[in-house]
Structure 1
Amino acid sequence: FTVEKLFGNTCYCNSVLQALYFCRPFREKILAYRSQPRRKENLLTCLADLFHSIANQKRKVGVIPPKKFITRLRKENELFDNYMQQDAHEFLNYLLNTIADLLQEERKQDKQNGKLANGTLDSQKSNGTPPATTWVHEIFQGTLTNETRCLTCETISSKDEDFLDLSVDVEQNTSITHCLRGFSNTETLCSEYKYYCEECRSKQEAHKRMRVKKLPMILALHLKRFKYMEQLQRYTKLSYRVVFPLELRLFNTSGDATNPERLYDLVAVVVHCGSGPNRGHYIAIVKSHDFWLLFDDDIVEKIDAQAIEEFYGLTSEISKNSESGYILFYQSRD
C-alpha cells in the first residue's frame, strides 16, 4: 500500500512516512499506541490512524490519501501550511520531536491522574529510566560527546549531547563511513579561536573533537546536500556521489569497551531528485520482506538491490539535477 500525493507538494512528507513505516520498531510502537484508549486528535493520533489503515487493509494493493495527517500538520506548523516543496529532513525532525513531546505530555497527564503502572507514580524511575525518555528516544536517540583537550595542561573537558538524527557533511566520491570519520576528526583551536581553559584560567590552544558515545537502535543519517552559496544568494545542491552500503559496521568511538561495534542494515532511504531544496521531488526506497521497493508518491515498483547504486549521486558536477540519497535509515542488528 502506498501514500497518495495530495493538494500541493506533499512528497517531502510522503517519502518520510513511507520510510518510517518500514522502520519496524517505529511502526510497531505507533500501531501499539493506536490500540490504547483514544486521546484527543493530534499529529500522533493522525499518524497512528494512517499506519493502522495501511497495516489493516484487506485489499492487496491500493492507495491511501494521508488527508487527515496533512491537514493536521498544516494546522500545527505554519512552515508546512502551504503548497510549496519543503525539506524532508526538517519534516522528519519536526515529526520525531513532536511525537516525543506529545508522549511526554501524556505521561505527565497520566502521572497527575495517578495512572502510572503498578499504581506508583515513581515506577518509571525504579528501572533506572528517567521519566523524560519515550520510545522515540529508545529507537532513534544516540549520544555524542564533545571533547576539548587543553594543549597546555592536558585537561579534557567533555559535554554530552543527544541526537535523534545525525547530520553529516558530504564530499565528492566518498562513502558514509568516510563522512562519519570526518565527523569525528580532531580540530585545533588556535589564534583567535583559542579555548578558555578553566584549569589554566586563560585562553589556550586546544584539540576539539566530537565522538559517538552511544549508538542508537535506528540511525537516521542526514546528508548535508544543500549548501548556501554566498555569490548566488541561495542554497544549491551538492550532488556528490556518496556510497551508502546495505550493511554498515559502526564503531563506538568513545572507547566504551562494552559495546565496541555494531552492525547496521539499511532499511530505508529518502531520495532527493532535482537541483535545490525548495524544488525537485522526494521518493523513498524501502526494504520489505528481503526485497526493495521504490515509492514515488502513489507509484510503487520493485527494484533490484543493485539499482540502489543509482542513488549514490553524481561523479561529475556538470549536472546538478540528480537523484541522490538524502536521509538514510540504518537499523541495528542487535
Structure 2
Amino acid sequence: MGANSTKLEKALAEAPEDERYYGLENFGNTCYCNSVLQALYFCKPFRERLLKYAATLPSNTEENLLNCLAELFAQINSSKKKVGVVSPKKFVTRLKRDNEVFRGHMHQDAHEFLNYLLNQSCELLEQEARANQKQQQLAGGAGGGGGPGSQQGAPREPITTWVHEIFQGKLVNETRCLHCETVTCREEVFMDLSLEIEQNTSLTSCLRNFSSMEMLDRDDKFFCDQCCCLQEAKKRMLLRSAPPCLILHLKRFKYVEAQGRLRKLMYRVVFPMELKLSNTTADDPGAADTLYTLTAVVVHLGSGPHHGHYVSLIKSGPQWLSFDDESVLPITESEVQSTFGSTSEYGQNNMDHGYILFYERAGG
C-alpha cells in the first residue's frame, strides 16, 4: 500500500487499538463481493457473532460459505498489523462453487450477492441447529423419548438464527376492503428493504412512499374473505419492527420496456447520517423515535448495470474510510455525500452512487 498505508496509519492514530483496516484482493471481477464483505466486517454486531461462531468451529468441520467467511474475518481480526491487504480467495472460490451466478467474469450485482450470502448463512445455521436438535433427541430417546414435538412427522418449529436477530425485520401488509371496511393483515419478514427512487428525493421520502396507500381496483381488485368476492380495496405496507442493523437497497437499476434493457438511474437521493423511522405501525409507537446511524455505503461507480465498479465507504469511530479492493483511504463526510447522485436525470458529471445503505441502531 506504500504511501497510502502511511497516510492511513496517520489518519487512524486515534482509532481503537483492536480495530483492523484491511483491503481485499480482487480476482478480476470481485469488487461486488469485496465491497459487501467490508460493509459486513464493519457491522460490529455481525462481526462479533461471526467471530464467536469461528471460535466454536471444530478443526475437521466441512467447508461451507459461512465458515469460509468466518475464517476470513478471523484472519483480519487477528492480524498483528493495523493495516494491510488479505486475499479472500478461499471464500470467493467457495462462492463460485456454490452458485453458478457468480462464476465467470461478468459484472455482478452487489445487492444480489448480499441477499444470497445472508440467506445462505441463515440456511447453514438452521441446518446446524436441526442437526443438534436431532442429536439431542436421539440422546434423550434412550431415556424415554425426546419430549413433545420430537415425534417423527411433527411440524418443525421455525429457527431464528443470530443472522436473523441482527438483520431481520417485520412488515405488515394491511389491506382494507372499501365495501365492508374489514382490514386484513399479513405479516412478512425482510433482511433488507428495497426502495423505489425518484429524482431529487430523500431517503425519508422513499421510506414514506414505500408505506403509502395503494388503490386496488379494476383488474387488481382484492378478494375479501368477509364479502366472499372481489372488491375495491386500499393497501399499504408498514414497518412493524426494525432490526438492530437495517439494510436499505436503493433500486438504481430499472428495466425500461421501450428500450428492452436495464438502465441505471442516476437520481439524486439524499441519505442522512442519522435516520429516524417514521412509518411504523401502532404496534410499536416508540419505534418511530429509534435513531439509526449510517455505518456503511456500498457505492456503484459507472453508467450502467452490466459494467462498472463497487467500493465501500465505511465509518469507523469518527473517521470515514474508502475501501476500494486493495486500497483503503481516509475520506471526509462530504465525499460520502457526493454519492447522493446527480441533480440531472442523465447527468454524466457524477457516476458514483450510493446503492446499499447500512444503518445501525444507536446504542446497540
1:269 paired with 2:291, answer no
In the other structure, the counterpart of 2:207 is 180
TM-score, with structure 1 as normaliser: 0.94
After superposition, where does 1:285-304 map in structure 2 within 5 Å? Answer: 285-304=313-332
- Between the aligned partners of 1:252 and 1:310, the Cα distance in structure 2 is 27
1:27 paired with 2:47, answer yes
In the other structure, the counterpart of 1:170 is 197
Aligned residues: 329
Q: Is there any run of 5+ residues in structure 1 with no aligned partner, and where?
A: 124-129
After superposition, where does 1:206-221 map in structure 2 within 5 Å? Answer: 206-221=233-248
| 1:91 to partner: Cα distance | 0.1
Letter in 2 for 1:7: F
CA contact (8 A) 1:172 1:242 kept: yes
- Between the aligned partners of 1:278 and 1:34, the Cα distance in structure 2 is 35
CA contact (8 A) 1:22 1:286 kept: yes
After superposition, where does 1:1-334 map in structure 2 within 5 Å? Answer: 1-38=21-58, 39-114=61-136, 131-251=158-278, 253-257=280-284, 259-261=286-288, 262-319=290-347, 322-334=351-363
Larger CA Rg, structure 1 vs 2: 2
- Between the aligned partners of 1:317 and 1:131, the Cα distance in structure 2 is 45
Provide Cα deviations, 1:34-74, integer angstroms capped at 9, x if missing partner: 00032211001110010011111112321001000000000
Aligned-residue sequence identity (percent) comes to: 53
| 1:121 to partner: Cα distance | 6.9
CA contact (8 A) 1:167 1:223 kept: yes
CA contact (8 A) 1:145 1:212 kept: yes
- Between the aligned partners of 2:147 and 2:251, the Cα distance in structure 1 is 41
Provide Cα deviations, 1:186-241, integer angstroms capped at 9, x if missing partner: 01111222111111112111111111011111110000000011222211000100
Deviates more, 1:216-225 or 1:227-236: 227-236
- Between the aligned partners of 2:300 and 2:22, the Cα distance in structure 1 is 18
Deviates more, 1:311-320 or 1:81-90: 311-320
- Between the aligned partners of 2:227 and 2:71, the Cα distance in structure 1 is 58
Provide Cα deviations, 1:138-168, integer angstroms capped at 9, x if missing partner: 0000011111100110000011110000000
3-state SS of the aligned residue for 1:73? Answer: helix
CA contact (8 A) 1:3 1:66 kept: no
Are the structure 2 counterparts of residues 252 and 318 from structure 1 closer, same or farther at C-alpha, using a change threshold of 3 Å? closer
Provide Cα deviations, 1:52-101, integer angstroms capped at 9, x if missing partner: 11111112321001000000000000000112210000000000000000
Letter in 2 for 1:148: T
| 1:277 to partner: Cα distance | 1.7
| 1:258 to partner: Cα distance | 5.5
In the other structure, the counterpart of 2:16 is none
CA contact (8 A) 2:24 2:34 kept: yes
- Between the aligned partners of 1:27 and 1:138, the Cα distance in structure 2 is 13
CA contact (8 A) 2:169 2:241 kept: yes
| 1:5 to partner: Cα distance | 3.4
- Between the aligned partners of 1:42 and 1:3, the Cα distance in structure 2 is 23
- Between the aligned partners of 1:60 and 1:86, the Cα distance in structure 2 is 30
CA contact (8 A) 2:25 2:85 kept: no
Are the structure 2 counterparts of residues 122 and 319 from structure 1 closer, same or farther at C-alpha, using a change threshold of 3 Å? farther
3-state SS of the aligned residue for 2:341? Answer: coil
What RMSD in Å do the two structures reach over aligned CA positions? Answer: 2.2
